[in-house]
Amino acid sequence: MENMDEWLDEYYEERGWDIETGRPNKNKLISLGLADVASNLIKQGLIK
């Protein structure tokens, strides 16, 4: 199972998702043109 956890962490990191939550990170949302969504999620404490 340890290898699977490592693989999943790498998968999330490669795609710009938070490893702990599986949510897209701020930079990923901005790159998709969703800066306003990123800002709102940060204010809500849902992403860093």
Binning pLDDT at 50, 70 and 90, where does residue 2 land?
Answer: confident
Domain count of the chain? Answer: 1
What pLDDT shows up at residue 45? Answer: 94
d(CA 39, CA 12) in angstroms, rounded, equals 21
Region 1-18: what's the mean pLDDT? 91
Residue 11 inside a domain? The answer is yes
Per the domain annotation, does 36 fall within a domain? yes
24: exposed, middle or buried (C-beta count within 10 Å: 0-12, 13-18, 19+)?
buried
pLDDT digit string, tens, across residues 18-44: 999 889 999 999 999 999 999 999 999
pLDDT at residue 48, as a whole number: 84
Distance (Å, rounded) from C-alpha 21 to C-alpha 32?
Answer: 19
1 pLDDT band, cuts 50/70/90, is low
21 occurs within a structural domain: yes
Is 26 part of any domain?
yes
